[in-house]
């Protein structure tokens, strides 16, 4: 039903979009409304009247783009700061913003199914489209030991494994390998982790693709974009080196999340084992008693000092684990979105990830 409503809305707006374009005030003019007021996320400040218009669905590509383009682009983020990305639904104003933009950047995957419906109903011949999941080598979501399987409503404990089930104790120790149950055991299409930006090395690939699109659509400023891109890629290299230094000197290689785990790419990049309540794209917020008990035992038995939660979470599960074990609860940013206060203060992807460096160092030592 949701997809049908979005498709119908997109078709209706497509019929009237020329009227909307004709009436739109020129970007940057004194009386122009905020380009993303409907979504609650302001555009990048300092854009000039001649700036190209870039629309992104989430915070990471929004921040990457402003680092590359500076004041040469008017950048709109559709997801309001503080909102949950997995339940986002576009407004009519959002669809008009997509239609009018020069560059459109979105993640792809199940959470962005609405995008395909919208794009198929619009004339996109004038724009460049960047799909983040096309920029990197994808990995599947996996159900590790103790994690609650959203589809089955069961916990993935080793003792429950049978025949085609990949959740036995031996497989549970190999968190970097593909979980057989993701596709084969359930007879379904593979469900890939959509949080591709959580690895700085992946972020570099994404930044380069965005830079290429900007250079293509705005050749007059291509040299500036390339210069800014080179500088930003160097900062991502430094970030990657910081994470590698922390892991290389760590006393342990295991992290525990009393929350969703949208960090497959991050864990794979740095050779980390993990335990969590839910996989990254789960919509669950209440873990079963068995899952909570498993995580409590894991933290207690291995003396793990920190339990993580992600941004915009109520941290209830992490708090429960901490109360029972004495572990400290810390935030680990997935960067899929940012709070309103952090957005207004100008926090960046690099800021959030550098905070993760410090949190990880505490958790592994």
pLDDT at position 43: 56
Q: How far apart are CA 150 and CA 199, in angstroms?
A: 25
**Which residue's structure tokens are 């005030």?**
25
Condensed to tens digits (0 to 9), the pLDDT of residues 283-304 reads: 776 899 999 999 999 999 999 9
Q: How far apart are CA 197 and CA 348, in angstroms?
A: 13
Among 27-41, 102-116, 343-357, where is mean pLDDT lowest?
27-41
The answer to whether 200 touches 286, Cβ cutoff 8 Å, is no
What's the pTM value of the predicted model, to 2 decimals?
0.82
Q: In the numeric block, which tokens belong to residue 62?
A: 């929004």
Instruction: Please provide the average confidence, as pLDDT, over all residues in the chain.
Output: 83
Q: How far apart are CA 254 and CA 272, in angstroms?
A: 6
User: Is domain 148-191+250-363 classified as CATH 3.40.50.1980?
Assistant: yes
* SS3 assignment, position 330: strand
Q: How far apart are CA 243 and CA 320, in angstroms?
A: 28
Condensed to tens digits (0 to 9), the pLDDT of residues 135-193 reads: 999 999 999 999 987 654 544 444 443 343 433 443 444 444 444 444 444 456 788 99
Q: How far apart are CA 187 and CA 293, in angstroms?
A: 30
Q: How far apart are CA 275 and CA 362, in angstroms?
A: 17
One fold for both 2-136+196-240 and 148-191+250-363?
yes
Any idea where the domains of the chain sit in the sequence?
2-136+196-240, 148-191+250-363
**CATH, domain range 2-136+196-240:** 3.40.50.1980
């Amino acid at each position: 039903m949701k997809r049908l409503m979005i498709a119908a809305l997109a078709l209706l707006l497509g019929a009237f979009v020329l009227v909307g374009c004709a009436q739109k005030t020129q970007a940057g003019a004194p009386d122009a409304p905020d380009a993303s007021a409907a979504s609650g996320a302001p555009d990048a400040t300092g854009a000039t009247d001649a700036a190209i218009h870039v629309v992104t669905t989430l915070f990471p590509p929004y921040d990457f783009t402003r680092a590359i383009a500076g004041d040469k682009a008017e950048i709109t983020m559709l997801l309001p700061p503080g909102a949950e990305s997995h339940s986002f639904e576009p407004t009519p104003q959002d669809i008009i913003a997509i239609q009018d933009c020069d560059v459109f950047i979105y993640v792809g995957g199940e959470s962005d199914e609405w995008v395909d419906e919208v794009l198929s109903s619009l004339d996109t011949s004038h724009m460049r489209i960047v799909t983040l999941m096309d920029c990197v080598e994808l990995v599947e979501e996996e159900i590790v030991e103790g994690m609650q399987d959203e589809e089955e409503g069961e916990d993935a404990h080793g003792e429950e494994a049978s025949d085609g089930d990949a959740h036995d104790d031996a497989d549970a120790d190999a968190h970097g390998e593909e979980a057989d149950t993701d596709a084969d055991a359930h007879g379904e299409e593979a469900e890939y982790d959509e949080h591709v930006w959580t690895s700085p090395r992946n972020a570099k690939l994404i930044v380069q693709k965005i830079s290429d699109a900007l250079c293509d659509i705005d050749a007059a400023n291509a040299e500036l974009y390339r210069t800014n891109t080179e500088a930003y890629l160097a900062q991502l290299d430094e970030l990657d080196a910081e994470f590698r230094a922390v892991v290389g000197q760590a006393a342990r290689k295991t992290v525990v999340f009393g929350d969703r785990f949208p960090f497959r790419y991050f864990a794979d990049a740095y050779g980390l084992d993990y335990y969590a309540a839910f996989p990254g794209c789960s919509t669950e917020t209440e873990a079963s008693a068995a899952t909570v008990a498993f995580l409590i035992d894991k933290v207690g038995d291995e003396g793990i000092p920190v339990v993580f939660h992600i941004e915009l979470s109520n941290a209830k599960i992490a708090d429960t684990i901490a109360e029972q074990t004495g572990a400290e609860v810390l935030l680990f940013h997935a960067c899929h979105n940012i709070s309103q206060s952090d957005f207004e203060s100008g926090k960046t992807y690099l800021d959030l990830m550098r905070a993760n460096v410090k949190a990880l160092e505490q958790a592994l030592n």
